[in-house]
Amino acid sequence: MAVHERLGIFGGTFDPPHVGHLVTAVNVRHELALDRVLLVVSGQPWQKLGTRPISGAEDRFAMVAAAVGDVEGIEASRIEIDRAGMSYTADTLAVLAAEEPDRELFVILGTDAAAGLATWERVEEVRDAATIVVVDRPGSRGAEPLPGWSWLRVEVPLLDVSSTDLRARVLDGRPLDYLLTPGVIACIHDRGLYRESVAS
């Protein structure tokens, strides 16, 4: 009997990717026995465009690649960077399903993103293609399942780390240690990221 891949998709701007993202990825992979979790870097994140300056996609991918390093089962993905136009989860799921039709796809979301799921582009395609995995913090229960969706919850440790704060820390020269992996810190310095004024 063929064994089908169980694949997690954890999308984001990752500007920068921090320890909270990594803890989420490894815990969801463990709890759901996923073969891999892809950290999918948004090429043109439609929900963030116009809200603040966003680092270039190649810079953000380089940071994610540095963040995951050689952690087993966690991979940086540029699938949305290499596809022209806005980054929509529906398109990403379609590509991944076409590559391997028997894959089981799991879209990993924080509670804020899950609460806004109904506003997503072509949300019915997302519903039909994947199981939604909502990441809950200990003692909290976020968004409620939408009718007709396959919906799971995974509790992960609470790490109150903010990408907005991290960008400000770079600008101010405050410590980044233990909030970002050493590889990400080196990548930020090597590429001269976040040296300009930061907007939230």
Question: Tens digit of pLDDT for each residue in 16-34?
Answer: 999 999 999 999 999 999 9
Give the global pTM.
0.91
Look at strands 6-12 and 104-110 and give their pairing.
parallel
pLDDT at 49: 60
Residue 101 lies in a domain: yes
Confidence of residue 192 (pLDDT cuts 50, 70, 90): very high
CATH number at residue 179: 3.40.50.620
Residue 200 lies in a domain: no
Confidence of residue 45 (pLDDT cuts 50, 70, 90): low
pLDDT at 137: 75
Average of per-residue pLDDT values in the chain? 90
Residue 41 lies in a domain: yes
pLDDT at 140: 67
For the cut 70, the answer to whether the pLDDT of residue 197 exceeds it is no
Cα dist from 63 to 16, 138, 170, whole Å: 7, 28, 14
For the cut 80, the answer to whether the pLDDT of residue 196 exceeds it is no
Residue 113 lies in a domain: yes
Report the first-to-last Cα separation within the chain, whole angstroms: 50
Q: What value does the mean pLDDT take over residues 155-162? A: 88
Residue 52 lies in a domain: yes
Residues in CB range of 72: below 8 A, 6 or more apart:
none
Q: How far apart are alpha carbons 74 and 38 in whole angstroms?
A: 6
Burial of 161 (0-12, 13-18, 19+ CB in 10 A): middle
Residue 166 domain boundaries: 6-190
99-155 per-position pLDDT tens digit: 999 999 999 998 888 888 888 889 999 999 999 999 987 766 667 778 889 999 999
Residue 195 lies in a domain: no
Residue 196 lies in a domain: no
The answer to whether 2 touches 104, Cβ cutoff 8 Å, is no
Residue 103 lies in a domain: yes
Number of domains in the chain: 1
